[in-house]
Amino acid sequence: MDIHFIGHSTFMLEHGQTRLLIDPFIQGNPQATVTLQDALNWNVTAILITHAHGDHWGDTLEFTRAGTPVIATAEIAAYAQQRGATHATGMNIGGTYRADWGNVTLTPAWHSSSFPDGTYGGMPTGLIVELGGQRLYHAGDTNLFGDMTLIGDRGLDAALLPIGDHYTMGPEEAARTLDLLRPRVAIPMHYGTFPPLTGDPAVFQREGQARGVDVRILAPGEHTTL
């Protein structure tokens, strides 16, 4: 699996001909090194959304206009359908979406979720993505919570974790999640995009590596392979 960091919490996961775009915040994202048109040309297999905040919902409707399927909570899928999406699958926490290319399971996340216009966005979630025989956890926006142990029990090749502080956990608390999740690789996200997000990835890397985790700090536009 190739993991492409677009910026903030936006990633593209790639295996063979499958391209999964998570939280497609491109327009208005000061970290993004690609344009929306670039991303629309990627022939994305599916959009995965953790919650409805603007910096995660992002450009979803632009992709739905191109026919790209959306996988998210029932509330987010319904919101997309009401605005013209023809391929939106609504789920809830604990449910698994199964496709020829792999699976997506929604997990809890401790946060909030509403669209930029104030519409309720359902419960915030994390995502467990099974692709190419590997399992990746995108935590969405969250803090540390004890049930991460249950997520880790499934065995994780990688965990994408917010470290920015203020709206999510900071780097020290994010490092503590590694004791519960036990991933082989950890990648920090959701930091440095806006002034309040002051979490230092070097702190997360130091704390993670002390726990024996391969912490990879990606600059926007970089990618890594599991």
Amino acid (1-letter code) at residue 95: G
Q: Please name the residues in contact with 41: beta carbons below 8 A apart, sequence gap of 6 or more.
A: none
DSSP state of 32: -
Helix (H, G, I), strand (E, B) or coil at 78: helix
- Please tell me the pTM assigned to this model: 0.98
Alpha carbon distances (Å) from 68 to 41, 61, 77, 90: 11, 9, 13, 14
Residues in the chain with pLDDT values less than 70: none
**Is CATH 2.40.10.350 correct for 2-225?**
no
Interatomic CA distance for residues 165 and 156, integer angstroms: 24
The contacts of residue 125 (CB under 8 Å, 6+ apart) are 50, 51, 72, 73, 93, 106, 107, 108, 109, 140
Q: Which of 119, 163, 169 is nearest to 9 (CA)?
A: 163
Sequence ranges of the domains in the chain: 2-225
What single-letter amino acid sits at 76? Answer: I
Q: What is the separation, in whole angstroms, between the first and last Cα of the chain?
A: 6
Q: What was the pLDDT predicted at 213?
A: 98
pLDDT at 85: 97
Beta strands in 8-115 (DSSP E): 10-15, 18-22, 46-48, 70-73, 88-91, 96-99, 102-108
Residue 108: what pLDDT?
98
Nearest to 162 by CA among 191, 182, 185: 191
| pLDDT tens digits along 16-40 | 999 999 999 999 999 999 999 999 9
